[in-house]
Amino acid sequence: MLQEQQQHLMAYLRNEESQISEHIADQGGINVELRLGIYHNAYRMRLRESIEVDHPVLGIYLGDDLFDLMATEYIKYCPSQRTSLRHFADQLPGFLGRQAPFSEHGQITELARFERLLMTAFDAGEANRLATNKLSALPIQDWPNTTMRFHPSMQIFNTTWNVVEIWQAIREEREPPPPVESTNHWLVWRNSQRLTQFASLSALENQLLKNALEGKNLAELCDTLTTQMEESTVAEKFLLVIKSWFDKGIVSALYPKG
Amino acid sequence: MLISAARLVLNKRPTTPTSSSATGGDRVLNKQTAKPYLGFGLGLRTEHFQDVIDTQPEVDWFEIISENFMVKGGKPKYYLHEIRERYPMVMHGVSLSIGTTDPINFEYLRSLKTLVNEVQPEWLSDHLCWTQHGGINSHDLLPLPYTEEALEHVSSRISATQDFLGQQILIENVSSYLTYNDSTISEWEFLSAVAEKADCLILLDLNNIYVSARNHGFNAEDYLNGIDPDRVQQFHLAGHTDYGDYVIDTHDHDVVHSVWELYAKAIQRFGQVSTMIERDDNIPPLADLVAELNMARAIVDTGTLVQKHVS
């Protein structure tokens, strides 16, 4: 009986066929419909609020009607399977990418993806942040084979839309620019003051970071540059880029043996 | 319009102890039941993180929502540890779903145990309810029927949970808005029987008793009188929203007069019990909550509810 009651109440909350009212006592006072309605309403409001709190800019960008539609549909098709609301909307970007009318506007799914990456950086694990002098202290013979490990909060956001510009405009209460399809690379990370930051990455930096994340050593990273610029400028450019990673606090370890 | 039931949703006190404070060298015990006594606490909320560190308020302890800190790092964990160094803590969960007929979620229990090891709380608690079914989480505290079947089911799961965690847990009564046809006993009889059978402790939420008493038409004092003082280790106080015909447990208002009255009666029956105020929405400045907490202190100190202090 207990299992049946739970199945019916959960189905009722989710607007599915349910005989839950047959299990509920008429106690006088407010009627059974209202008693059940309190739970029905609470279920929806809590999940909707969770999406809204985690995606504040997306909410403003969509406006009330589209946001309501998105929340209603997401709650229907992607019910929470996790114990923490923190993860309820993990599937939201993918959902928006396949669900009309949202899927017809590529910037919407990208905006959701960006806001979720900001959350990931916000509460990712802790790790050391190496200062630049750790790099300069590296014996010269160790340089070629050295690999890097990055701070767990570091994320690369590759997008084909100008969503970060849209996000920034809304945050600053400005009119967002019209959506434009263009390839953009962004670095998202949490700094040493535990504030989430993002910065634009050139195509070259993006490639270098991607390679470094894959475990390529410094010699291999340098090779990435030699195919794309004058050999005489490679060393200077390479040092400049690597140093900027240390300055941002995203390098957590150097492994001289690879 | 129906309003959301907003529940849910995250070591040493440096200040001079007040007369009813629990702080000091040795662990303070309830003289009546010999249970550990922490004094007067607040729910730790994100909005107050920095204020707690900056002002070190006259709060004896903090209660955290366990799930809010089941993350790897960043600000939540930073503030958790900073504040833990300054205050005793207890952990309060919302996702144990002790009454679900789904299999026990050991992944959740492992996360909980990890957090227990990290925080070293004085104790931990969750609710007498179910939150998930069929792998889907409602993120709400859904009521159980008060039947023999539910009693056997819940108490065996609490026992298994306590075995896994290696300690007793506190189980809290929830606010509820409906009653199942097949319930055969009162909520307080059910809670008492569960605590006895599972050998767990009780977190008595006085606001929830008030809310459920209004919604179901029972006498809140009968509830208090039906609970064994030896099992009660913590009180919750909170505000609610009163719609006249029914009351919803919203945690977005001050504690109301009727709940303070019930608290005074609870103190008479249960003696010194660690008491805290939960506030989850419409969150006021920390100083306002500390002032509200002082009303609880005054009730314990004087043994009565002083009318002029009640707004």
Contacts of residue B4 in chain A, CB cutoff 8 Å? 41-42, 45-46, 49
Q: How many CB pairs under 8 A join A and B?
A: 154
Mutate to test the interface with A, among B110, B177, B183 (most CBs of A within 10 A): B177
What is the tens place of the pLDDT at every residue in B155-170? 999 999 999 999 999 9
CB spacing of B246 vs A38 below 8 angstroms: yes
pLDDT at A250: 97
Query: A171: which 2 tokens?
Result: 């945050």
B249 Rama sector, left if φ>0, alpha if ψ -120 to 50, beta otherwise: beta
Specify the residue for token string 């099992």.
Answer: B231
Whether chain A has a CB inside 8 Å of the CB on B45: the answer is: no
pLDDT band at A227 (very low <50, low <70, confident <90, very high): confident
Contacts of residue A1 in chain B, CB cutoff 8 Å? 145, 147, 149, 182
What is the tens place of the pLDDT at every residue in A33-71? 999 999 999 999 999 999 999 999 999 999 999 999 999
- Listed in sequence order, the residues at least 6 apart from B143 whose beta carbon sits closer than 8 Å to its beta carbon are B129, B174, B176, B177, B178, B179, B180
* pTM attached to this predicted model: 0.91
Contacts of residue A82 in chain B, CB cutoff 8 Å? 137
CB spacing of B217 vs A27 below 8 angstroms: yes
Q: Which of A84, A122, A126 sits opposite B70 (nearest CB)?
A: A84
For A107, A138, A237, B259, the CA distances from A133, given in Å and listed in that order, are 41, 9, 18, 61
Whether chain A has a CB inside 8 Å of the CB on B207: the answer is: no
Q: What mean pLDDT comes out for the span B221-233?
A: 97
Q: Helix or strand or coil: residue A180?
A: coil
CB spacing of B134 vs A86 below 8 angstroms: no
With a cut of 80, say whether residue B17 has pLDDT above it: no
pLDDT at B304: 72
CB spacing of A39 vs B135 below 8 angstroms: no
pLDDT band at B35 (very low <50, low <70, confident <90, very high): confident
Q: Which of A28, A39, A47 sits opposite B177 (nearest CB)?
A: A39
With a cut of 90, say whether residue B33 has pLDDT above it: no
pLDDT at A204: 92
Mutate to test the interface with B, among A2, A20, A49, A120 (most CBs of B within 10 A): A2
Q: What mean pLDDT comes out for the span A224-251?
A: 88
The answer to whether the CB of B56 falls within 8 A of the CB of B48 is: no
Q: Which of B3, B9, B67 sits opposite A83 (nearest CB)?
A: B67
**Spatial separation of the C-alpha atoms in residues B191 and B173, rounded to whole Å:** 7
pLDDT at B28: 72
Of residues B28, B21, B26, the one with CA closest to residue B61: B21
Chain B residue with Cα closest to A10: B133
Q: Which of B6, B132, B180 sits opposite A25 (nearest CB)?
A: B180
With a cut of 90, say whether residue B300 has pLDDT above it: yes
Quick one: B255 exposed, middle or buried, by C-beta within 10 A (0-12, 13-18, 19+)?
buried
Quote the crossing angle between the two packed helices B286-302 and B257-270, to the nearest 10°. 50
Quick one: A34 exposed, middle or buried, by C-beta within 10 A (0-12, 13-18, 19+)?
middle
pLDDT band at B305 (very low <50, low <70, confident <90, very high): low
Q: Helix or strand or coil: residue B236?
A: strand
What is the tens place of the pLDDT at every residue in A182-226? 999 999 999 999 999 999 999 999 999 999 999 999 999 998 888
Whether chain A has a CB inside 8 Å of the CB on B103: the answer is: no
Query: A256: which 2 tokens?
Result: 């001289």
The answer to whether the CB of B199 falls within 8 A of the CB of B161 is: no
Quick one: A104 exposed, middle or buried, by C-beta within 10 A (0-12, 13-18, 19+)?
exposed
pLDDT band at B39 (very low <50, low <70, confident <90, very high): very high
Q: What mean pLDDT comes out for the span B230-246?
A: 95
List b or e across B292-307, with b for residues whose CB sees 16 or more CB atoms inside 10 angstroms: bbbbbbbbbeeeebee
Contacts of residue B68 in chain A, CB cutoff 8 Å? 84
The answer to whether the CB of B171 falls within 8 A of the CB of B128 is: yes
- Of A51-60, A236-245, B84-93, B297-306, the poorest mean pLDDT is in B297-306
ipTM of the complex, rounded to two decimals: 0.92
Chain A residue with Cα closest to B178: A35
Q: Which element (helix H / strand E) includes A196?
A: strand A196-201
CB spacing of A9 vs B74 below 8 angstroms: no
CA distance, residue A56 to nearest chain B CA (Å): 17
What are the DSSP E strand ranges found in A40-174? 147-150, 155-161
With a cut of 80, say whether residue B227 has pLDDT above it: yes
Interface of B with A in 177-196 (CB under 8 A): 177-183
CB spacing of B137 vs A83 below 8 angstroms: yes
With a cut of 50, say whether residue B19 has pLDDT above it: no
Quote the crossing angle between the two packed helices A203-213 and A231-248, to the nearest 10°. 70
List b or e across B204-224, with b for residues whose CB sees 16 or more CB atoms inside 10 angstroms: bbbbbbbbbbbbbeeebeebb
pLDDT at B31: 65
What is the tens place of the pLDDT at every residue in A140-165? 999 999 999 999 999 999 999 999 99
Of residues B14, B43, B66, the one with CA closest to residue B279: B43
- Listed in sequence order, the residues at least 6 apart from B290 whose beta carbon sits closer than 8 Å to its beta carbon are B42, B57, B58, B59
Q: What mean pLDDT comes out for the span B172-178?
A: 97
CA distance, residue B245 to nearest chain A CA (Å): 7
What is the tens place of the pLDDT at every residue in B117-136? 999 999 999 999 999 999 99
CA distance, residue A155 to nearest chain B CA (Å): 15
CB spacing of A153 vs B73 below 8 angstroms: yes
Q: Which of B76, B149, B183 sits opposite A123 (nearest CB)?
A: B76
With a cut of 70, say whether residue B25 has pLDDT above it: no
Q: What mean pLDDT comes out for the span A237-254?
A: 94
The answer to whether the CB of A153 falls within 8 A of the CB of B77 is: no
Average pLDDT, chain B: 90
Average pLDDT, chain A: 95
**Spatial separation of the C-alpha atoms in residues B90 and B50, rounded to whole Å:** 19
Per DSSP, the residues of A67-84 read: HHHHHHHHHHHS---SSS
Per DSSP, the residues of B75-113 read: HHHHHHHHHHTTS-EEEE-S---TT-SSPP-HHHHHHHH
With a cut of 50, say whether residue B176 has pLDDT above it: yes
Whether chain A has a CB inside 8 Å of the CB on B110: the answer is: no
Query: A175: which 2 tokens?
Result: 């009119």
**Spatial separation of the C-alpha atoms in residues B273 and B267, rounded to whole Å:** 7
